[in-house]
Amino acid sequence: MLLPFRMMAAVALTLGLSAAPVQAATAKPAATGGAWGAKVAISPVGGHIQGNTAAPHKLIEYMSYTCSHCAHFEAETALPLRMGPVGGGQLSFEVRHLVRDPLDITIAMLTNCVPPVKFFPLHHKFLIEQDKWIATAQKLTEAQTKRWNEGQMPERMRAIASDLKFYDIAASAGLSHAQADACFANEATLRRVIAQTKEAQELGATGTPTFTLDGKMLEEHDWAGLQPKLAAVLK
């Protein structure tokens, strides 16, 4: 783990959130027209699906924004996966969260507060720029560490977003500073993210990224290992 943060299993207790299931949302496209790669839908558990929701094969990634392997996977697959089988309609790709620390939950809240069609560009930007904001995070002062780890979660997330310039990254997707602050206080969004994390843990996911393909959890955790699995079902 990058920094000595509490695991997100404690976040629900900190906020007084129950572990009750999140009310399911209807999976329906957020954009129309163009190739399947431009289609985005929200799954019943609040994940973001890219591609054809009726595709014969479904890939789900459980990821963390502070995971270097997740950033590497994003860099490798942004074009070949999404412009290939996802864009062609044979495979849908869904991102769900397995959050690990306050930086992670802060970014997950921001990516989940933009319109669904803007999720994947913002998701990509945070991961592609991970090295930059991680480097800044590693130079924390004692005062910043205290702000990040104490107090109510919305306050902590605002401090993180300010210190690491997450507000600027979110603005690239059209999310204003005021909208971001409102997002941090949105308990419904937080419940969805925590519920996805709990789901991943109940499935047995112990690291990120973890993948399921057509409902089966895979042992592979990178693009090199995933490619043969996809080739076998997409042949």
Q: Edge to edge, what strands does the sheet with 216-217 contain?
A: 40-42, 48-50, 91-97, 57-63, 210-213, 216-217
Q: Specify the pLDDT at position 8.
A: 43
Do the beta carbons of residue 110 and residue 166 sit within 8 Å? yes
Q: Name the β-bridge partners of 60.
A: 94, 212
Q: Specify the pLDDT at position 6.
A: 38
Do the beta carbons of residue 97 and residue 59 sit within 8 Å? no
Q: Specify the pLDDT at position 124.
A: 96
Chain-centroid distance, C-alpha 10? 19
User: What tokens does 114 get?
Assistant: 């933009």
Distance CA 105, CA 63 (A): 11
8-14+23-234 to CATH, choices 1.10.40.110, 1.10.260.40, 3.30.930.10, 1.10.10.10 = 1.10.40.110
User: What tokens does 84 get?
Assistant: 């290939």
pLDDT along the chain (235 residues), means of 10: 38 39 37 67 96 96 97 92 90 96 96 96 97 94 88 94 97 97 96 95 93 96 94 92
What's the pTM?
0.86
Do the beta carbons of residue 110 and residue 76 sit within 8 Å? no
198, with CB counted inside 10 A (0-12, 13-18, 19+), is: middle
Distance CA 82, CA 92 (A): 9
Sign of the Cα pseudo-torsion (175, 86, 221, 225, in order):
negative
Q: Specify the pLDDT at position 72.
A: 96
Type of residue found at 51: G
Q: In the chain, what is the greatest distance between 2 CA atoms, to the nearest angstrom?
A: 55
Give me the phi and psi of 232, to 5 degrees please: -65, -35
Q: Give the containing element (helix H, strand E) for 216.
A: strand 216-217
Distance CA 84, CA 93 (A): 11
Do the beta carbons of residue 42 and residue 49 sit within 8 Å? yes
Domain ranges of the chain: 8-14+23-234
Q: Specify the pLDDT at position 28.
A: 39
